[in-house]
């Protein structure tokens, strides 16, 4: 009897031991599977995030095209990214490594660029009311010419003619005509006779458009002190998008030049030898004040947008000449607003 009980007990012990060993083996196998799954998921997350990171960088910097960027650290792992252009249909390959897991993601994406909207005249004033600091706010030896010029201000004579000053309605047209001095009537040239002040149909929210343009500017100016030391605001061979956040007064006694798109969120005053090629946009949600004096020159166009505009162009030889070539040149500056995914492979 005793031997039987002993044998039964030993048999049960063996069975239990075998069961425990099997449980341990299953547990280790399950743990290994869980670890592998975690590593694979983490590698996939890193690879996909790498695509998103570099598409965002590419929006601001097209020089990243046709390059490889290695050893990027993210989430405890690393990834390499290769970008192949052109940005009209870019291919991004991201290979990630996390512990023993590797994941590869290949994406084709199409650039959705910010559209370029040229100014509709040599000067465009968009506001409910337009007035001046004094009775004759536009006078002196000013020249506002809506005829097409080359990038250096030479008349092309190609038949492309826009208003010297464009406005949104007949009320604003009359307000502008009222502040043009008699001696300056024949110095505002373009469509519609002299002075060339014409009503246009505007569908653009220029404040919103200005914000789009400066999502990734090349130059940011946020203090007046920076302006004093700047003599180069972009060149014909290297135009720039410049954003001025606040009121700006450009008073250069020496010749200063710029080329590109200049966006000013505030009042704008130019008084000196400042020459700019391209498009200038000055905007405010409230009343905006504009003073253009001295010997400054704008070849391209200027847009002023606000609830109301107070303007003076009455001292010196300031000139604004419409130039489609200048604006076409700077159109290439516009950054990619976003990328639309065409295909995604993993």
- Residue 118, pLDDT above cutoff 90: no
Query: How far apart are the C-alpha atoms of 211 and 209, rounded to whole Å?
Result: 5
- Residue 186, pLDDT above cutoff 80: yes
Average pLDDT over residues 120-141: 88
Tokens of 317: 């030889």
Q: What does pTM read for this prediction?
A: 0.75
Burial 59-90 (b: 16+ CB within 10 A, else e): beeeebeeeebeebebeebbbbbbbeeebeeb
Token pair 């061979």 is at which residue? 237
Mean pLDDT check: name the lowest of 134-143, 242-251, 261-270, 284-293.
Answer: 134-143
Strands 129-132 and 90-98: unpaired
Query: Where residue 4 falls among pLDDT bands split at 50, 70, 90?
Result: low
3-state secondary structure of 64: helix
Q: What local confidence, expressed as pLDDT, does residue 140 receive?
A: 83
3-state secondary structure of 332: coil
Q: Facing residues of 237 across strands?
A: none
Please work out, in degrees rounded to the nearest 5, the angle formed at the alpha carbon of residue 283 by the alpha carbons of 214 and 228.
Answer: 75
Q: What is the pLDDT of residues 321-339, one digit of tens each?
A: 999 999 998 887 776 667 8
Please work out, in degrees rounded to the nearest 5, the angle formed at the alpha carbon of residue 37 by the alpha carbons of 34 and 38.
Answer: 85
- Residue 276, pLDDT above cutoff 80: yes
Q: What local confidence, expressed as pLDDT, does residue 56 receive?
A: 85
Q: Which of 109, 83, 106, 84 is nearest to 96 (CA)?
A: 106
Higher-confidence position of 29 and 141: 141
Q: What is the pLDDT of residues 47-88, one digit of tens each?
A: 999 999 988 888 778 888 899 999 999 888 899 999 998 877
Sign of CA dihedral 201, 292, 156, 261: negative
Distance of CA 311 to the CA centre of its chain: 27
Mean pLDDT check: name the lowest of 12-16, 49-53, 240-244, 291-295.
Answer: 12-16
Tokens of 308: 């109301």
Q: What is the pLDDT of residues 90-111, one digit of tens each?
A: 999 999 998 888 999 999 998 8
Query: Where residue 10 falls among pLDDT bands split at 50, 70, 90?
Result: very low
Q: How many residues does the chain have?
A: 346
- Residue 224, pLDDT above cutoff 90: no
Average pLDDT over residues 241-260: 82
Mean pLDDT value across the chain: 84
Q: What is the pLDDT of residues 277-316, one digit of tens each?
A: 999 999 998 899 999 888 889 999 999 999 999 998 877 7
Q: Which DSSP symbol is given to 19? A: H
Query: How far apart are the C-alpha atoms of 320 and 195, rounded to whole Å?
Result: 14
Q: What local confidence, expressed as pLDDT, does residue 27 receive?
A: 52
All structural domains of the chain with their residue ranges: 2-113, 123-331
Q: What local confidence, expressed as pLDDT, does residue 5 receive?
A: 54
Mean pLDDT check: name the lowest of 3-12, 149-158, 186-195, 234-243.
Answer: 3-12
Query: How far apart are the C-alpha atoms of 312 and 301, rounded to whole Å?
Result: 17
Q: What local confidence, expressed as pLDDT, does residue 67 receive?
A: 92
Per 3-state DSSP, the chain is made up of helix, strand and coil in percentages (nearest 5) of 30, 40, 30
């Amino acid at each position: 009897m005793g031997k039987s009980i002993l044998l039964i007990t030993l048999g049960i012990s063996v069975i239990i031991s075998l069961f425990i060993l099997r449980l341990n083996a299953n547990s280790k196998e399950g743990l290994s599977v869980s670890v592998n799954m975690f590593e694979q998921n983490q590698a996939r997350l890193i690879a996909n995030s790498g695509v998103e990171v570099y598409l965002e960088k590419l929006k601001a910097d097209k020089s990243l095209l046709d390059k490889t960027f290695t050893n990027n650290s993210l989430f405890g792992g690393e990834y390499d990214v290769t970008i192949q252009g052109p940005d009209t249909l870019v291919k991004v390959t991201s290979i990630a490594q996390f512990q023993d897991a590797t994941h590869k993601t290949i994406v084709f994406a199409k650039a959705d660029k910010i559209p370029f909207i040229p100014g509709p005249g040599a000067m465009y004033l968009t506001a409910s009311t337009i007035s001046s600091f004094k009775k004759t706010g536009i006078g002196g030896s000013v020249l506002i010419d809506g005829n097409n010029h080359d990038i250096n201000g030479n008349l092309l004579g190609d038949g492309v003619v826009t208003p010297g000053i464009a406005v949104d309605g007949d009320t604003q047209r009359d307000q502008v005509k009222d502040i043009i001095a008699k001696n300056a009537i024949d110095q505002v040239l373009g469509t519609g006779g002299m002075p060339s002040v014409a009503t246009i149909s505007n569908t653009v929210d220029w404040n919103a458009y200005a914000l789009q343009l400066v999502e990734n500017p090349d130059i940011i100016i946020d203090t007046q002190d920076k302006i004093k030391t700047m003599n180069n605001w972009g060149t014909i061979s290297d135009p720039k998008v410049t954003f001025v956040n606040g009121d700006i007064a450009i008073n250069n006694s020496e010749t200063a030049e710029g080329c590109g798109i200049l966006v000013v969120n505030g009042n704008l005053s130019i008084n000196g030898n400042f020459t700019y090629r391209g498009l200038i946009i000055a905007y405010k949600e409230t009343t905006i004040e504009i003073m253009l004096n001295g010997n400054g020159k704008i070849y391209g166009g200027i847009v002023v947008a606000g609830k109301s505009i107070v303007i003076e162009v009455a001292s010196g030889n300031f000139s604004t000449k419409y130039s489609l070539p200048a604006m076409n040149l700077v159109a290439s500056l516009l950054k990619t607003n976003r990328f639309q995914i065409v295909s995604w492979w993993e």
